[in-house]
Structure 1
Amino acid sequence: MRPSLLDPLFASPSSLPGIGPKNAQLLDRLLGGAEHPARVLDVLMHLPYDGVDRRNRPTIAQAPIGAVSTIKVRVAEHRPPRAKGPYRVLTEDGTGDLTLIFFRANSGWVEKALPVGATRWVSGLVEIFDYYKQMVHPDRILDEEGLKTLPPVEPVYGLTEGLFPRVMAKAAAGALARLPVLPEWLDENFVRANGWASFGEALARVHEPQAPDDLKPESNFFARLAYDELLSHQLALRLVRRKMQVLSGRPQPGDGALRAKILAALPFALTGDQTQALAEISADQGSDKRMLRLLQGDVGSGKTVVALLAMAQAIEAGRQAALMAPTEILARQHFDTIKPLAEAAGLTVALATGRDKATERRATLAALASGALNIVVGTHALVQDDFVYHDLGLAVIDEQHRFGVQQRLALGEKGVGVDVLAMTATPIPRTLALAYFGDMDFSALREKPPGRQPITTRTVNAERIDEVVAGLGRALKDGARVYWVCPLVAESEESDLAAAEARAEDLRKFFGDKVGLVHGQMKGRDKDAAMEAFAAGETKILVATTVIEVGVNVPEATIMVIEHAERFGLAQLHQLRGRVGRGDKKSSCILLYAGPVGETAKARLEILRQTEDGFRIAEEDLRLRGEGEILGLRQSGAPGFKIARLDIHADLLRFARDDAEKFLADDPDLRGERGQKLRLLLYLFERDTALKLLRAG
Structure 2
Amino acid sequence: MRPTRLDPLFTPVTALKGIGPKTAKTLSSLLAGGKDREARISDLIFHVPSNVIDRRLRPGIAGSPEDTIVTLTLHVDAHRAPPRNSRAPYKVLAHDDSGEIELVFFHARRDYLEKLLPVGEERIVSGKVEWFNSRAQMVHPDHVVSAEEAEDLPLIEPVYPMTAGLSSKMMQKAMTTALPLVPSLPEWQDAAFVKANRFPPFKEALLGLHRPEDLSELADESASRKRLAYDEFLANQLALALVRNAMRKQGGTERKGTGLIRKKIIAALPYELTEGQKQALIEISQDLSAPARMLRLLQGDVGAGKTIVGLMAMAQVIEDGGQAALMAPTDILARQHYASMLPLCEAAGIRIAVLSGKDTAKTKREIGEKLESGEIDLIVGTHALFQSTVIFKNLGIAVVDEQHRFGVHQRLSLSSKGAHVDVLVMTATPIPRTLVLSYFGDMEVSRLTDKPKGRQPIQTVSVSLDRIGEIVERLRAAIANGKKIYWVCPLVEESEKIDLAAAEERFEDLQKALGPVVALVHGRMSADEKNAAMEAFKVGHARLLVATTVIEVGVDVPDATIIVIEHAERFGLAQLHQLRGRVGRGSEASSCVLLYKAPLGETATSRLNILRQTNDGFLIAEEDLKLRGEGELLGTKQSGLPGFKIANVQAHGDLMQAARDDARLIITTDPHLETVRGQALRHLLYLFSRDEAVKLLRAG
- Scaled by the length of structure 2, the TM-score of the pair is 0.97
8 Å CA contact 1:124, 1:139 repeated in 2? yes
- Residue aligning to 2:662: 659
Distance 2:265 2:134 in 1: 83
8 Å CA contact 1:371, 1:391 repeated in 2? yes
Report the 3-state secondary structure (helix = DSSP H, G, I; strand = E; otherwise coil) of the residue aligned with 1:487: coil
- Residue aligning to 1:74: 75
Distance 1:21 1:377 in 2: 46
Distance 1:263 1:173 in 2: 66
- Residue aligning to 1:485: 488
Deviations 1:263-292 (A, max 9, x none): 111111110000000111111101111101
What is the CA distance between 1:355 and its match in structure 2?
Answer: 2.1
Distance 1:19 1:520 in 2: 40
Distance 1:141 1:548 in 2: 57
Distance 2:149 2:259 in 1: 80
What is the CA distance between 1:22 and its match in structure 2?
Answer: 4.6
- Residue aligning to 2:587: 584
8 Å CA contact 1:74, 1:119 repeated in 2? yes
Q: State yes or no: 1:444 paired with 2:451.
A: no
- Residue aligning to 2:19: 19
Deviations 1:611-638 (A, max 9, x none): 1110000000000011122112233343
8 Å CA contact 1:412, 1:420 repeated in 2? no
Q: State yes or no: 1:117 paired with 2:120.
A: yes
What is the CA distance between 1:202 and its match in structure 2?
Answer: 1.2
8 Å CA contact 1:295, 1:424 repeated in 2? yes
Distance 1:561 1:27 in 2: 41
Question: Where does 1:233-382 land on structure 2 (aligned, <5 Å)?
Answer: 233-382=236-385
Deviations 1:315-349 (A, max 9, x none): 11110000010100100111011111011011100
Q: State yes or no: 1:454 paired with 2:457.
A: yes
Counterpart amino acid of residue 314 in structure 1: V
Q: State yes or no: 1:415 paired with 2:411.
A: no
What is the CA distance between 1:543 and its match in structure 2?
Answer: 0.7
What is the CA distance between 1:73 and its match in structure 2?
Answer: 1.3
Deviations 1:113-140 (A, max 9, x none): 1111211111111111233111001000
Counterpart amino acid of residue 459 in structure 1: S
What is the CA distance between 1:674 and its match in structure 2?
Answer: 1.2
What is the CA distance between 1:103 and its match in structure 2?
Answer: 0.9
Distance 2:651 2:528 in 1: 45
Deviations 1:535-562 (A, max 9, x none): 1101000011111010000001000111
Report the 3-state secondary structure (helix = DSSP H, G, I; strand = E; otherwise coil) of the residue aligned with 2:624: helix
Distance 1:28 1:269 in 2: 53
Deviations 1:345-403 (A, max 9, x none): 11100000122233322221111111111000001111111110000000011102112
**CA-based RMSD:** 1.5
Q: State yes or no: 1:92 paired with 2:107.
A: no
Report the 3-state secondary structure (helix = DSSP H, G, I; strand = E; otherwise coil) of the residue aligned with 2:459: strand
Q: State yes or no: 1:209 paired with 2:178.
A: no
8 Å CA contact 2:28, 2:37 repeated in 1? no
Counterpart amino acid of residue 405 in structure 1: V
8 Å CA contact 1:459, 1:592 repeated in 2? yes
What is the CA distance between 1:160 and its match in structure 2?
Answer: 4.0
- Residue aligning to 1:10: 10
Structure 1 stretch 601-610 or stretch 202-211: which is displaced more?
A: 202-211
- Residue aligning to 1:646: 649
Q: 1:196 to 1:495 in 2, by over 3 A?
A: same
- Residue aligning to 2:681: 678
Distance 1:611 1:500 in 2: 28
Q: 1:593 to 1:163 in 2, by over 3 A?
A: closer
Distance 2:657 2:57 in 1: 40
What is the CA distance between 1:159 and its match in structure 2?
Answer: 3.4
Runs of at least 5 residues in structure 2 that lack an aligned partner in the other structure: none
8 Å CA contact 1:152, 1:210 repeated in 2? no
Distance 1:154 1:669 in 2: 43
Distance 1:42 1:150 in 2: 26
Distance 1:103 1:567 in 2: 37
- Residue aligning to 1:159: 162
8 Å CA contact 1:395, 1:412 repeated in 2? no
What is the CA distance between 1:462 and its match in structure 2?
Answer: 1.5
Runs of at least 5 residues in structure 1 that lack an aligned partner in the other structure: none
Deviations 1:588-633 (A, max 9, x none): 1111111111111111111111111100000000000111221122
Counterpart amino acid of residue 4 in structure 1: T
Q: 1:271 to 1:237 in 2, by over 3 A?
A: same
Distance 1:25 1:572 in 2: 32
What is the CA distance between 1:20 and its match in structure 2?
Answer: 4.3
| Divergent runs of 4+, >6 A | none
Counterpart amino acid of residue 683 in structure 1: Y
What is the CA distance between 1:104 and its match in structure 2?
Answer: 1.3
Distance 1:26 1:491 in 2: 18
8 Å CA contact 2:333, 2:555 repeated in 1? yes
Distance 1:648 1:419 in 2: 34
Q: 1:35 to 1:635 in 2, by over 3 A?
A: closer
Distance 1:21 1:463 in 2: 49
8 Å CA contact 2:333, 2:553 repeated in 1? yes
Out of 391, 396, 401, which is 2:399 matched to? 396
Distance 2:23 2:312 in 1: 57
Report the 3-state secondary structure (helix = DSSP H, G, I; strand = E; otherwise coil) of the residue aligned with 2:208: helix
Report the 3-state secondary structure (helix = DSSP H, G, I; strand = E; otherwise coil) of the residue aligned with 2:585: coil
Counterpart amino acid of residue 158 in structure 1: P
Structure 1 stretch 152-161 or stretch 536-545: which is displaced more?
A: 152-161
Out of 85, 102, 105, which is 1:102 matched to? 105
- Residue aligning to 1:133: 136
8 Å CA contact 1:397, 1:408 repeated in 2? no
Question: Where does 1:188-207 land on structure 2 (aligned, <5 Å)?
Answer: 188-207=191-210
What is the CA distance between 1:644 and its match in structure 2?
Answer: 1.2
Out of 565, 571, 588, which is 1:562 matched to? 565
Distance 2:645 2:578 in 1: 27
Question: Where does 1:452-531 land on structure 2 (aligned, <5 Å)?
Answer: 452-531=455-534
Q: 1:570 to 1:111 in 2, by over 3 A?
A: same
Counterpart amino acid of residue 9 in structure 2: L
Counterpart amino acid of residue 445 in structure 1: L
Report the 3-state secondary structure (helix = DSSP H, G, I; strand = E; otherwise coil) of the residue aligned with 1:607: helix
Distance 2:80 2:168 in 1: 29
What is the CA distance between 1:191 and its match in structure 2?
Answer: 2.3
What is the CA distance between 1:29 and its match in structure 2?
Answer: 4.4
Report the 3-state secondary structure (helix = DSSP H, G, I; strand = E; otherwise coil) of the residue aligned with 1:413: helix
Distance 2:515 2:639 in 1: 38
Aligned length: 697
Percentage of pairs with the same residue: 57
Q: State yes or no: 1:64 paired with 2:78.
A: no
Counterpart amino acid of residue 459 in structure 2: T
Report the 3-state secondary structure (helix = DSSP H, G, I; strand = E; otherwise coil) of the residue aligned with 1:213: helix
Distance 2:14 2:505 in 1: 50
